[in-house]
Amino acid sequence: MNAMTSGSVAGRGPGVQLVYDFADGDRGMVDLLGGKGANLAEMTRLGLPVPPGFTVTTEACQHYLLRGEEPQPLRLQVTMALRRLENLLGRRLGDVQDPLLVSVRSGAKFSMPGMMETVLNVGLNDYSVKGLADAVGDERFAWDSYRRLIQMFGRTVLDISSELFESALESAKVRAGADTDVELPAAVLRELVDEFKGIVLEQTGRQFPQDPREQLDLAMRAVFASWNTDRARLYRRRERIRNDLGTAVNVCAMVFGNLGDSSGTGVCFTRDPATGRPGLYGDYLVNAQGEDVVAGIRNTLSLEDFAHLNAAAHTELTRIARRLETHYRDLCDIEFTVERGKLWMLQTRVGKRTAAAAFRIATQLVDEKVITNDEALTRVSGQQLAQLMFPQFDADAPRTRLTLAMGASPGAAVGKVVFDSATATAWAARGEDVLLCRRETNPDDLAGMIAAAGVLTTRGGKTSHAAVVARGMGRTCVCGAEEIDIDAQARKLRVGDVVVAEGDVLSIDGSTGEVFAGRIPVVPSPVATYLERGLDVALESADAETADLVGSVDQLLRHADRTRLLGVRANADTAEDAARARHLGAEGIGLCRTEHMFLGDRRVLVERLILADTPASRDAALAELLPLQRADFTTLLREMDGLPTTIRLLDPPLHEFLPDRTELAVEVALARAAGEVDPAREVLLTAVERLHESNPMLGLRGVRLALMVPGLFAMQAQAVAEAAAARLQDGGRPLVEIMVPLVGSVMELHLIRDEIDGVITDVADRTGADLSIPIGTMIELPRAALTAHRIAEVAEFFSFGTNDLTQTTWGFSRDDVEAALFATYLDKGVFTVSPFESLDRDGVGTLVRMAVTAGREAKPDLKVGVCGEHGGDPDSVHFFHEIGLDYVSCSPFRVPVARLEAGRAALIAETGAGAS
Ligand code: ADP
Ligand code: MG
Ligand code: MG
């Protein structure tokens, strides 16, 4: 970086080409030409009707950003390119007779809102406006184009508030009695131009630049500089786009959609990007230029109407759309303009689409033999599948939309509006569905967020506290609804002139960010029905579009199953969960937690175990728990017959099964004061106090607890072994595995194995059953990962508990930091995604990778899986595939997501394509 001579670009010497004609580029040059420029070049290369022009490279921008000035050769190269353009068209930029006009358009590698938009009609001034009027024979048009130039230039290049121009335009409309801008006559537009020029002078102290080349240079520089606006930086940080890429600038000869009724401008998609329905989909606006379509200033026409207006142009558009689709092999998004009947292409790119459209379009393209099933699979994502699985508002139900904000955490939630956490918890406790509505949330709102069916905030974006926490707990959330005014004191909110009081019902859609008045019925999504109940049930009542969607999901999910190398299991604690997981495609249970088997009615038995003061009384308590556990496991193994089922022995600290310390202390104190001492409660309080821990996450739990309470794990192992024996006796195929939690040292595992192995041998001897029960361990402490080579000698399998491993690697207590710290950390860029949501590859991932390698070195047939929630997170699944795990295990409803992503991981790793 140090030896750059003046005029060189990024150290590449003075001869660097900084300007490319559209005719000289192609879509492979996206790094240099940006997305828009590369695609304009590609369309030019294909012989499509693109107005000619040239692109200034991202390298020129990088130079400008580093040095604060354009690279020295740029000026000459632009002059030459402009000369070529002028010669090609036979017109000069800003000439007084028949002037060439150009647009100056930003265009980075990744499309990026927040950067400078486009300036159209560059080259117009007080003289060329007359030349333009004469050349096209339309004075109104010429003045309209000029006022647009000053307006756009003023706003984007000179940084003048757009409201000044807009209000001038509004009053001109009032003066002229015009409803829309097209009704403004030439004379009024001319006055408006004078007014606009006055605004420029007043705001900048300078005249609106009359020199066409100066207009061009200033506009290009403004594009460069817009790379570093706060909005653009913020966007890049969120989207993880590198800061040093820079943007290209496209200079493109103008074509005019505002030349009367035979002209217009439009946008279209080669298929419907919302539903995936085949056929062109778009909007057309007669007698309009550029941004008018999306600005929504007048009502647009459908493409069918466009076909009636101009059949030839519509036919050509259809033909080009098909051409682009086969060329790009994907849905394309197109901008076009019609100038006096002739079609011009102004932009194309691979189009964004909804989750449903992604699945449908991918399989349509397979059917049309444009892409293969493998490619189709890479075109959809687990996140999209997850979105399709959320319950939805009934599409047929009537609705009144109050506002559109940001969908921060998907789902459809209906509930009574409440304005504080306490009310949310209170109302939810009496069985009401509530929506917690806050300006923004903070850690104090956590209880309310847990209690609520959904969360609605009026401030903050997708990394706000509300958004992060809601996503973390799978709660539906809409955030940043700025049109809503909340008056928490008065317990009401206001949207426009609608007032919603506490207790009134609203419906929010966390996928789209919509907020609706009243209650909209919620229905299971057809994709969820398919996944849980099969294709036939899902198709029973489906219309053609829905059937097509379900068919697409089925096709791609089955392809993923054929393709993937990772096994997919579920975390399920009960037979019902297990059944659900099986329907959703789980190939086993990777984690069955046993703590729920100690709750409810059985809590008293656990109390007895804890309070036991002799080995005999402890054995008696354990003996009572044994048959209950055995029955639990027998049912579970029946449900999972023939599939591996990993049972994790008790993990949490014992005090979790005891009454709350404070409440019990108060109760006992009151009893003492009243002279009614209850000896049993007194003993219990002593136990609770003895077991109290200031940091239970790092306390007496897992294998440590087992070593302190002899017989506990042995009882569980006996229940497992007897259940397996019983199943064998019934002709079943139990494939049960026992997993020991929180091991940090191989000695701990040795000690426990000695105990468990003995029990299993006893059961086998006693029942005559041929029991083979693999025993493995969780790897959820850094020390376990660091000593994996030792631990592997004693374990038949490893299962990474990535939640605890994340907590202990970062030193985070999840319950404490997630609400208190994460919104800030995300905002400040400490991480781009919560390490509990997506595995921290650099830190936690390194431990996992090390442990896999060391474990397999010590024991080549060691089976390795993961049972943290990360097992269902798309990005983490790709990581687990890369490091060669045998399986992932996640909650049942994430199983389809993991299946899909595991299939994609196998393909993407193979082809080396990017993961996102
Ligand atoms: P964005 O990236 O915001 O879409 P564009 O550079 O594509 O910005 O331009 C904004 C609008 O101006 C689009 O509708 C585009 O079609 C139109 N436009 C751009 N260049 C020209 C041109 N040379 N002639 C006519 N319209 C143009
Ligand atoms: Mg565009
Ligand atoms: Mg754990």
Instruction: Quick: pLDDT tens for 177-224.
Output: 988 888 899 999 999 999 999 999 999 999 999 999 999 999 999 999
The amino acid at residue 568 is V
More confidently predicted of 708 and 826: 708
Q: Compute the distance between CA of residue 211 and CA of residue 198 in angstroms, rounded to an integer.
A: 17
Q: Which amino acid is at 876?
A: S
Query: Looking at 87-91, 191-195, 225-229, 501-505, which range is the least confident one?
Result: 225-229
Burial class (CB in 10 A: 0-12, 13-18, 19+), 614: exposed
Q: Where does the pLDDT of residue 597 fall: very low under 50, low under 70, confident under 90, or very high at 90 and above?
A: confident
Quote the CA–CA distance of 601 and 261 in Å, as a whole number: 79
Which ligand lies nearest to the CA atom of residue 571 in the structure?
3
Cβ atoms 646, 589 nearer than 8 A: yes
CB 546 near ligand 1, within 6 Å = no
Residue 613: predicted pLDDT:
85
Query: Quick one: pLDDT at residue 298?
Result: 72
- Locate the DSSP E strands across 727-786: 735-740, 775-779
525 within ligand 1 shell (Cβ under 6 A)? no
Of 63, 314, 465, 559, which is the active-site residue?
465
Half-sphere exposure of 912 (CA within 13 A, CB side): 0
- Cβ neighbours of 323 (radius 10 Å): 16
**Average of pLDDT values for 260-286?**
92
Integer angstrom CA distances of residue 90 from 87, 94, 551: 5, 12, 55
Q: Model confidence over 464-486: pLDDT tens digits?
A: 788 877 876 778 999 999 999 99
Most ligand 1 atoms within 8 A of CB, residue of 112, 115, 117, 118 to mutate: 118
Report the alpha-carbon distance of residue 282 to residue 302 in Å, rounded: 6
Q: What is the pLDDT of residue 342?
A: 97
Spatial CB neighbours of 720, under 8 Å, sequence gap ≥ 6: 629, 633, 647, 736, 738, 773
Q: Which two tokens stand for residue 146?
A: 């000029």
* Closest ligand 1 atom, residue 289 Cα: 26
Q: How many CA atoms lie within 13 A of 358 on its CB side?
A: 18
Angle CA(327)–CA(332)–CA(334) in degrees, nearest 5? 115
Contact yes or no for 802/781 (Cβ under 8 A): no
* CA-nearest residue, atom 22 of ligand 1: 254
pTM attached to this predicted model: 0.85
Residue 142, pLDDT above cutoff 80 = yes
Domain spans of the chain? 19-253, 264-353, 390-523, 563-602+610-652+717-911
Q: How many angstroms does the Cα of residue 803 sit away from the middle of ligand 3? A: 7
- d(C-alpha 34, C-alpha 53), whole Å: 14
Residue 297: per-residue pLDDT: 62
pLDDT band at 293 (very low <50, low <70, confident <90, very high): low
User: Is the pLDDT at 600 greater than 90, yes or no?
Assistant: no
- Paired sense of beta strands 53-56 and 863-866, if any: unpaired
pLDDT higher than threshold 70 for residue 228 = yes
pLDDT at position 171 is: 93
- Ligand 2 center–CA 105 separation, angstroms: 8
| Ligand 1 contacts CB of residue 254 (under 6 A) | yes
Q: How far apart are the C-alpha atoms of 122 and 101, rounded to whole Å?
A: 5
pLDDT at 731: 97
pLDDT at 911: 54
Query: Architecture of domain 563-602+610-652+717-911 in CATH?
Result: Alpha-Beta Barrel (3.20)
CATH of 390-523, one of 3.30.56.10, 1.10.3720.10, 3.50.50.60, 3.50.30.10: 3.50.30.10
Residue 14 has pLDDT above 70, yes or no: no
Q: Considering only CA atoms, which residue is closest to atom 1 of ligand 1? A: 117
Contact 867, 591 (CB under 8 A): yes
Instruction: Report the nearest-CA residue for atom 3 of ligand 1.
Output: 117
Nearest atom in ligand 1 to the alpha carbon of residue 335 is 16
CA dist., res. 258 & res. 185, Å (int): 13
Instruction: Tell me, in angstroms, the distance from the centre of ligand 1 to residue 111's CA.
Output: 14
User: What are the φ/ψ torsions at residue 83 (nearest 5 degrees)?
Assistant: -60, -45
Given the residues 268, 867, 870, 881, select the one marked as catalytic: 867
| Alpha-carbon gap, residue 23 to 51, rounded angstroms | 11
Confidence of residue 111 (pLDDT cuts 50, 70, 90): confident
- Decide: 43 in ligand 1 pocket, CB within 6 A: no
What pairing do the DSSP bridges indicate for beta strands 797-800 and 863-866?
parallel
Long-range contacts of 674-678 (CB under 8 A, 24+ apart): none
Strands 514-517 and 505-509: antiparallel
Q: What is the pLDDT of residue 1?
A: 37
Is 465 a residue of the active site? yes
Residue showing tokens 């559109």 = 404
Which atom of ligand 1 is nearest the CA belonging to 253? 23
Residue 288 beta carbon below 6 angstroms from any ligand 1 atom = no
Measured CA to CA, the distance from residue 206 to residue 209 in angstroms comes to 8
Minimum-distance ligand 1 atom for the alpha carbon of 111: 2
Out of 223, 285, 291, mutate this one to test ligand 1's pocket (max ligand atoms within 8 Å of CB): namely 291
Q: Classify each residue of 571-591 as buried b or exposed e, where b means 16 or more C-beta atoms within 10 Å of its C-beta.
A: bbbbbebbebbbebbbbbbbb
User: Is the pLDDT at 7 greater than 50, yes or no?
Assistant: no
Surrounding ion ligand 3 within 5 Å at CB are 780, 801, 804
Q: Which candidate, 583, 577, 493, places its Cα nearest to that of 537? A: 583
Pick the range with the lowest mean pLDDT from 77-86, 208-217, 592-601, 621-630: 592-601
Are 550 and 542 in contact by the 8 Å Cβ rule? The answer is yes
CA-CA distance, 616 to 621, in Å (whole number)?
9
Nearest in space to 412 (alpha carbons), one of 446, 435, 378, 385? 435
- pLDDT more than 90, % of the chain: 77
CATH code for residues 19-253: 3.30.1490.20
Q: What is the SS3 string spanning 603-650? A: HHHHHHHHHCCCHHHHHHHHHHHHHHHHHHHHHHHHHCCCCEEEEECC
Mean local confidence (pLDDT), 493-512: 95
Q: Tabulate helix, strand, coil % of the chain (nearest 5).
A: 50, 15, 30
Name which residue sits closest to atom 13 of ligand 1, judged by CA: 290
- Which two tokens mark 905? 């991981």
Does any ligand 1 atom lie closer than 6 A to the CB of residue 844? no
CA angle 324, 328, 329 (to 5 degrees): 105
Cα–Cα distance for residue pair 82/79, rounded to 1 Å: 5
Q: What is the pLDDT at residue 910?
A: 62
Instruction: Report the range of poorest mean pLDDT among 281-295, 357-371, 390-404, 774-788.
Output: 281-295
Q: Which of 198-202, 568-572, 631-635, 683-687 has the lowest mean pLDDT?
A: 683-687
> Ligand 1 within 6 A of 338 CB?
no
**Ligand 1 touching residue 346 (CB < 6 A):** yes
pLDDT at 10: 52
Shortest-distance Cα residue to atom 9 of ligand 1:
118
With a 6 Å cutoff on the Cβ, whether 51 touches ligand 1 is yes
Q: Is the minimum distance from the CB of 335 to ligand 1 under 6 angstroms?
A: yes
Alpha carbon of 183 to ligand 2 centroid (Å)? 26
In this structure, the residue with its CA closest to atom 8 of ligand 1 is: 118
Task: State the distance from the centre of ligand 1 to the C-alpha of 118, rounded, in angstroms.
Answer: 6
Q: Are the beta carbons of 171 and 164 closer than 8 angstroms?
A: no
Nearest CA to ligand 1 atom 23: 254
496 residue type, one letter: G
Which of 128, 121, 172, 168 is closest to 149 using CA atoms? 121
* DSSP-based three-state secondary structure for 154: helix
Asked whether the CA dihedral 674, 675, 680, 683 is positive or negative, the reply is positive
Highest mean pLDDT among 237-241, 307-311, 542-546: 307-311
Evaluate if residue 805 carries a pLDDT over 70.
yes
Residue 294: what pLDDT?
61
Task: Measure the CA–CA gap between 807 and 780, rounded to whole angstroms.
Answer: 9
- Read off the tokens for 503: 């207790």
Determine if ligand 1 sits within 6 Å of the CB of residue 120.
Answer: yes
Higher pLDDT, 659 or 639: 639
| Confidence label for 365 from pLDDT (cuts 50, 70 and 90) | very high
Q: How far is the CA of 207 from the centre of ligand 3 (A)?
A: 69
CA of 297 from ligand 2 middle (Å) equals: 17
Nearest-ligand number for the alpha carbon of 349:
2
Specify the long-range contacts of residues 751-755, CB closer than 8 Å, at least 24 apart: 751/707, 752/703, 752/706, 752/707, 752/713, 753/794, 755/710, 755/713, 755/714, 755/717
> Can you identify the CATH homologous superfamily of domain 264-353?
ATP-grasp fold, B domain (3.30.470.20)
Atom of ligand 1 nearest to the CA of 105: 6
The residue with tokens 């992604």 is 358
Residues 12, 643: Cα–Cα separation, whole Å: 61
Mean of the per-residue pLDDT values for the chain?
92
**Could you say which ligand is closest to the alpha carbon of residue 291?**
1
CB-based contact 490:369 (threshold 8 Å)? no
Label residue 5 by pLDDT band (50, 70, 90).
Answer: very low
Distance CA(707)–CA(688), nearest Å, equals 19
Q: Ligand 1 mean position to 85 CA, how many Å?
A: 18
Distance 309 CA to ligand 2 centre (A): 23
Minimal-distance CA residue to ligand 1 atom 15:
290
Residue 6 pLDDT > 50, yes or no? no
User: 343 alpha carbon to ligand 1 midpoint, in Å?
Assistant: 14
In what order do the strands lie in the sheet containing 484-487? 484-487, 492-495, 498-501
- The one-letter code for the residue type at 46 is L
Shortest-distance atom of ligand 1 to CA 255: 24
- Is the pLDDT reported for residue 371 higher than 70? yes
Distance 33 CA to ligand 2 centre (A): 15
Closest ligand by atom to 739 CA: 3
Please check the confidence at residue 915 and state whether its pLDDT lies above 90: no
Nearest bound ligand to the CA of residue 37:
1
Count how many Cα atoms sit within 13 Å of the Cα of residue 165 in the half-sphere of its side chain.
22
Query: Which residues have C-beta within 8 Å of that of residue 421, sequence separation ≥ 6?
Result: 436, 444, 445, 446, 447, 448, 449, 451
Q: Which bound ligand lies closest to the C-alpha atom of 807? A: 3
Which structure tokens are listed for 270? Answer: 């080669």
CB 337 less than 6 A from any atom of ligand 1: yes
For residue 106, report the phi and psi dihedrals to the nearest 5 degrees: -75, 160
**Rounded CA separation 409/465 (Å):** 12
Q: Is 750 a catalytic residue?
A: no
Identify the residue whose C-alpha is closest to ligand 1 atom 18.
Answer: 290
Mean pLDDT is lowest, of 409-418, 439-448, 815-824, for 815-824
Protein residue with least CA distance to atom 24, ligand 1? 254
The residue nearest atom 6 of ligand 1, judged by CA position, is 105
**Nearest-angstrom CA–CA distance, 655 and 688:** 6
Ligand nearest to the CA of 801: 3
The alpha carbon of 742 and the centre of ligand 3 are apart by a number of angstroms equal to 6
pLDDT of residue 869: 87
Tokens 């199943």 found at: 727
